[in-house]
Amino acid sequence: MNRKEITDKLYNIARPYVQQKEALEDFSMDTDLLRDLKINSANLIDIVLDVEDEFGVSIENAEMELMINVRSVVELLENKLDAK
């Protein structure tokens, strides 16, 4: 799976939880999940569960704390998918 495919999937997973829908227009590697997309921190839990299901990976609590912007999530997933 290439970076664009991972990013597109992440976009679709995050979309229902984004409270600042306009910010989706500028969805990029540097987009901050909480600050830019105004995702409620409780909904990060849902995003993690959906990511686990979509990519067939498991995300630990410590890894979750690193999920700050799109880049950090994509890189985490790239590493996990490579290790599979």
Residues of this chain that bind other proteins (CB under 8 A) = 16-17, 19, 40, 42-43, 45-46, 49-50
Distance CA 47, CA 25 (A): 19
Which CB, 3 or 15, lies closer to other proteins?
15
* Residue with Cβ nearer other proteins (46 or 75): 46
List the one residue out of 70, 60, 63, 64 whose CA is nearest residue 13: 70
CB 7 within 8 A of CB 70: yes
Q: Where are the alpha helices (DSSP H) in the chain?
A: 3-14, 41-55, 61-64, 70-83
Residue whose CB is less far from other proteins, 29 or 66: 66
Shortest distance, position 49 Cβ to other proteins, whole Å: 6
Q: How far is the CB of 3 from other proteins (least distance, A)?
A: 26
